[in-house]
Amino acid sequence: MASTNLDINENGQIKPCDKKYQEWIANYLKKHPNPLGECQYACKEMLKAFPELKIIRGHVETVFWGRRGHWWLETLNGAIVDPTRRQFPGPIEYKQWTPDELVRTGKCMNCGEEIWRKVASLDQEYHDYFCSKECEKETTDEMNKPNSYPITPNLDSEDCEIM
Ligand SMILES: [Zn+2]
């Protein structure tokens, strides 16, 4: 089931999760003060400490960065426990992945765009390097360009006897 959750309460504050989870997260953040890109790792670590939680994969809608692929945890009642919440400034909206949705599969090596596509299952690892055929072609063309340092012709050619 897809869940959508805005993580701010009616007073505009970030909804706090259970105290024991908050403490674990505070401790984690002491060791990892900048958790950018660590959502998967942090969720797996937190799951070891609290096996009652469930890992949720999906994305968040952020105020400043738009849509970002993200992992977080949920309690049995569906309350969000997000160890790397700190990486996103401003309120965010959580959207759990469903099989017919786009999933972030990488970042384009050519233009830097995030790559999203439909995948059959989340149990597989996906990694895309290019957002489009055009970007892939631009990069391979670039790599296949002839050496840009001209090979210096042998200037002592007069030493060579012409047979
Ligand atoms: Zn691209």
pLDDT given for residue 29 in this prediction: 95
CA of 131 from ligand 1 middle (Å) equals 4
Q: What is the pTM of this model?
A: 0.62
CA 104 to each of CA 5, 10, 118, 135, 147: distance values in angstroms, whole numbers, following the listed order: 19, 30, 9, 17, 35
Inter-residue contact 70 to 94 (CB < 8 Å) = yes
CA of 142 from ligand 1 middle (Å) equals 14
Q: Give the model confidence (pLDDT) of 96-150 as tens digits.
A: 887 777 778 889 999 999 898 887 776 667 789 999 999 999 999 988 887 666 6
CA of 156 from ligand 1 middle (Å) equals 47
Least confident among 40-54, 109-123, 144-158 = 144-158
CA of 104 from ligand 1 middle (Å) equals 14
pLDDT given for residue 147 in this prediction: 65
